[in-house]
Structure 1
Amino acid sequence: MTDPIRKIVTRTEVVLAEGGQPLDRPWRKAVAAAVITNPWLHQGHVSDLGPEVKTLAPKIASALATSITRALGGADNVEAFGKAALVGLDGEVEHGAALIHTPFLGDLFRHIVEGESIIAFGESQAPAGTVLTVPMWHKTAASTRSHYQAVNLSVSDAPRADEILIALGVSAGPRPLARIGDRRTDTAIDPTDILSEVHA
């Protein structure tokens, strides 16, 4: 089988200041995307997407995880992670979902970066050049709000109408100046009371 990946695009972001002040340490994020030909095009409704997923997803996971962990200086530096798919206009959103919502991608990625959390995710359909947002959260403590963040990527020639863009995102730390608390320590509220006050 020929290599399913047309190209890989990796983007690294290093934020040195936030809110007008320098950061104690840079905020480092990276995203890597693989562009592949959609294997299900021109076949009508394919009820079982599994065979192609089993073949393609591990190759994509390995290639992307290698690229983004290298961008952060190694898997040990990854604190937050996410995944996303952008499907070209001739495909279905489900085609992208099939490739990211599978142990053949998610479990491999999680293993490589020593994560435990469910991986934050998103999928959509759009033409080439569309900005894809990859949401992320903490790789072992998903309720840790300081690591709720995102990384963006736009590829000028992808996905073409017959392609799918699969992306993995990572961050080496929390958002700069994070200070909105944690889901596990939130004050308990009564939604009915709160809504009553809003509509009073």
Structure 2
Amino acid sequence: MQEALKVDELDLRKVVVYREEVLTEAGERPAAPAAQASVAAVLRNPWLGTCPSRDLSPEVLRVAPGLARVLTGHLIETLGSVDAIEAFGKAAVVGNAGEIEHGGALIHTPYFGNLMREFLDGESIICFADARAEAGTTLVVPLWHKTHAATRSHYQTVTARIPDAPRSDELVIIAAASTGPRPHPRIGDRTTDPAVTAQKLESSLS
């Protein structure tokens, strides 16, 4: 079994960090202004030119843990602390010469997802997005609460785009997070919602 690569051994072309904070929404300051951030790692696709039956697991084991460490480390630094982060998400963009499965291999296995959750003190399943696309494609990365997935106030998105990536032989792996909810959340919570069915709605309107 191959050992996981250390962070400084990862063959990354660049790491791109984006951060924003909404100060006002609808003319008012949110009760709890939240910052959002995304961190994208650009790396060469390790499976380029391999056949669809190729076992992807050796490279997953070698590459994914280091990516999880790099991306979450930058998120923590950018947003202040692990405790400050309340919602998270992940994504992959595959260059056109690769398979969509190559992106999934680096975000959908325990060697990335479990470690990202551990490093950010999360418990929820991590929302995701993936695509095969040209350089500069915009990807919308969904987020939800890292420990309480039913907390609707934290259902939000982060937009990620790198003008020169992925090149056709590259992958872009993204981790994103938020320090709080959407501005002015007020549509309730899944844990306290009434039971709604089409039949009940029809009865109430009749």
TM score, norm. by length of structure 2: 0.91
How far apart are residue 140 of structure 1 and its match?
0.4
Cα offset for 1:169? 0.5
Q: Of residues 81, 87, 99 in structure 2, which corresponds to 1:92?
A: 99
Aligned match of 2:19 in 6, 9, 12?
Answer: 12
| Larger mean Cα displacement after TM superposition, 103-112 or 43-52 | 43-52
Task: Using the aligned pairs only, state the percent identity.
Answer: 49
In structure 1, the residue corresponding to 2:185 is in which secondary structure? Answer: coil
Match of 1:70 in 2: 77
- For the residue of structure 2 that corresponds to 1:166, the secondary structure is strand
Answer yes or no: is 1:32 the counterpart of 2:39: yes
**Preserved CA contact (<8 Å) 1:5 1:37:** yes
Are 1:61 and 2:68 counterparts? yes
Q: Unaligned regions of 5+ residues in structure 1, if any?
A: none
Q: Give the corresponding residue for 1:121.
A: 128
Following the alignment from structure 1 to structure 2, what is the Cα–Cα distance between the partners of residues 3 and 61?
11
**Equivalent residues of 2:32, 2:180 under 8 A apart:** no
Shift of 1:25: 3.7
* Stretches of structure 2 lacking an aligned partner (at least 5 in a row): none
Task: Tell me the equivalent position of 2:113.
Answer: 106
* Structure 1 residue 23, shift from structure 2 partner: 2.5
Matching residue of 1:185: 192
Deviation of residue 44 (structure 1)? Answer: 2.0
The 1:186–1:49 alpha-carbon spacing in structure 2 relative to 1, beyond 3 Å, is same
Structure 1 residue 135: deviation in Å?
A: 0.6
Counterpart residue identity of residue 54, structure 1: L
Q: Which runs of 4+ in 1 moved over 6 A?
A: 195-198
Return the letter of the residue paired with 1:99.
L
Q: Answer whether contact 2:31 2:184 (CA < 8 A) is retained.
A: no
Whether 1:139 and 2:140 are equivalent positions in the alignment is no
Which residue number in structure 1 is paired with residue 59 of structure 2?
Answer: 52
The CA distance in 2 between the partners of 1:48 and 1:184, in whole Å, is: 41
- Corresponding residue of 1:171: 178
Task: Provide the rounded CA distance (Å) in 1 between the counterparts of 2:58 and 2:204.
Answer: 53
Tell me, yes or no, if the aligned pair for 1:135 and 1:151 is still in contact at 8 Å.
yes
1:84-113 Cα distance to aligned partner (Å, 9 max, x none): 111111111111011100111111111111
Query: 2: CA distance between counterparts of 1:59 and 1:195?
Result: 53
One-letter amino acid of the structure 2 residue matched with residue 92 of structure 1: E
What CA distance in whole angstroms lies between the structure 1 residues aligned with 2:110 and 2:202? Answer: 40
**Structure 2 residue identity aligned to 1:5:** L
Give the aligned length.
Answer: 199
Q: SS of the counterpart of 2:191?
A: helix
TM-score by length of structure 1 reads 0.93
RMSD (Å) for aligned C-alpha atoms: 1.9
TM-aligned CA deviation for residue 194 of structure 1: 4.4
SS in structure 1 of the partner of residue 167 of structure 2: coil
1:140-175 deviation digits (Å, cap 9, x = unpaired)? 000110000011111010000111100000000011
